[in-house]
Amino acid sequence: MSTNRALATSRAVMGCASSLALMAALFASQQVAAHGYMDEPPSRAFACKQKLNANCGQAEYEPQTVGEAPKGFPEFGPADGQIPSGGNATFAALNAQSPTRWHQTEVNNRNMEFSWFFTAAHKTTKWEYFITKTGWNPNLPLTRDTFELTPFCSVDGGGAVPVDGSAGSTGPIAQKHACVIPSDRSGQHVILGAWTVDDTAASFYDVVDVNITADGGTDPTDPKPEPDGWQNVGVIAPTQALLPGDTVKARAFTGSTESPEYSFTVGIDSVQDGQPENWSFKLAQAVNAADKPVRAGVRNEDGSIEPIKGTNTFYAKAETGVTSYQMLTTMVPDPSAYMHVHDVASEYVLEKGRGTVGFTLMTNKNITVEATVYDEANKQVGFTKQALDASTATVNVDVSSAPGAHTLKLIASSKDGRENFQETKTLNLTGEGGSQEYDAVFPEGVKNYKAGTLVLQEKTGKVYECQPFPNSGYCVQFTPTATQFEPGVGSHWNMAWTEK
Nearest to 200 by CA among 125, 138, 145: 125
**What values do phi and psi take at 111, rounded to 5?**
-85, 100
Burial readout 128-143 (b: 16 or more C-beta within 10 A, e: otherwise): bbbbbbbbbbbbbbbe
Nearest to 334 by CA among 423, 268, 393: 268
Query: Rounded to whole angstroms, how far apart are CA atoms 104 and 188?
Result: 8
pLDDT at position 2: 41
pLDDT at position 434: 63
Q: What is the pLDDT along the chain (500 residues), one digit of tens a residue?
A: 444 444 344 333 333 333 333 333 334 434 445 689 999 999 999 999 999 998 898 898 889 989 988 889 998 899 999 999 998 888 999 999 988 899 999 898 889 999 999 988 889 999 999 999 988 888 889 999 999 999 999 999 999 999 988 888 888 999 999 999 998 888 889 999 999 998 887 899 999 999 887 765 434 344 555 557 898 888 887 878 888 999 999 999 886 678 999 999 999 999 999 999 999 999 999 999 999 999 999 888 788 899 999 888 899 999 999 988 888 888 888 788 899 999 999 899 998 788 999 999 999 988 889 898 988 887 778 888 899 999 999 999 988 788 999 999 998 888 777 777 889 999 999 998 765 567 888 998 898 898 889 888 878 777 899 998 778 888 988 887 778 889 998 888 988 899 88
Task: Give 330's strand partners.
Answer: 247
pLDDT 10s digits, 82-124: 999 998 888 999 999 988 899 999 898 889 999 999 988 889 9
Instruction: Judge contact between 126 and 197, C-beta under 8 A.
Output: no
Query: Rounded to whole angstroms, how far apart are CA atoms 170 and 238?
Result: 46
pLDDT at position 426: 93
Q: Calculate the alpha carbon distances from 137 to 133, 204, 472 in Å.
A: 9, 24, 35
Nearest to 130 by CA among 44, 193, 214: 193
Q: How deeply is 11 buried, as exposed, middle or buried, from its count of CB atoms within 10 A (0-12, 13-18, 19+)?
A: middle
Q: Any residues with CB less than 8 A from the CB of 291 and at least 6 apart, and which?
A: none
For domain 339-431, the question of CATH label 3.40.50.300 is answered with: no
pLDDT at position 121: 87
**Same-fold call for 231-322 versus 339-431:** no
- Assign 306 to helix, strand or coil: strand
Cis peptide leading into residue 74 (ω within 30°): yes
Query: Rounded to whole angstroms, how far apart are CA atoms 489 and 350?
Result: 29
CATH superfamily of 31-212: chitin-binding protein cbp21 (2.70.50.50)
Kind and range of the H or E run holding 28: helix 19-29
Nearest to 443 by CA among 468, 484, 474, 478: 478
* Number of H-type helices and E-type strands within the chain: 4, 30
Instruction: Judge contact between 451 and 72, C-beta under 8 A.
Output: no
Strands (E), 288-353: 294-299, 305-306, 312-316, 324-330, 339-342, 347-350
Q: Calculate the alpha carbon distances from 4 to 1, 86, 464, 465 in Å.
A: 8, 40, 20, 20
pLDDT at position 479: 82
Question: CA 222, 226, 228 angle in degrees (round to 5)?
Answer: 145
pLDDT at position 129: 97
pLDDT 10s digits, 244-292: 999 999 999 886 678 999 999 999 999 999 999 999 999 999 999 999 9
pLDDT at position 233: 87
Instruction: Judge contact between 135 and 326, C-beta under 8 A.
Output: yes
Provide DSSP, 412-426: EEETTS--EEEEEEE
Would you kindly state where each structural domain of the chain is located, as residue ranges?
3-19+440-499, 31-212, 231-322, 339-431
pLDDT at position 435: 54
Query: Rounded to whole angstroms, how far apart are CA atoms 214 and 110?
Result: 6
Q: What is the DSSP letter of 282?
A: H
Task: Give 118's strand partners.
Answer: 36, 171
pLDDT at position 24: 37
- Assign 399 to helix, strand or coil: strand
The CATH class of 231-322 is alpha beta
Query: Rounded to whole angstroms, how far apart are CA atoms 331 and 219?
Result: 34
Give the HSE-up count for residue 344: Cα atoms under 13 Å, Cβ half-sphere: 20
In this structure, is the dihedral angle defined by the CA atoms of residues 228, 233, 238 and 243, taken in order, positive or negative? negative
Instruction: Judge contact between 40 and 113, C-beta under 8 A.
Output: yes
pLDDT at position 83: 96
Provide DSSP, 166-218: -TT--EE-SSPEEEE--TT--EEEEEEEEEEESSSSEEEEEEEEEEE-S----
Residue 377: CB atoms within 10 Å: 7
Query: Rounded to whole angstroms, how far apart are CA atoms 453 and 455?
Result: 7
pLDDT 10s digits, 31-85: 445 689 999 999 999 999 999 998 898 898 889 989 988 889 998 899 999 999 9
User: What pairing do the DSSP bridges indicate for beta strands 404-414 and 392-400?
Assistant: unpaired
Query: Rounded to whole angstroms, how far apart are CA atoms 131 and 208?
Result: 10
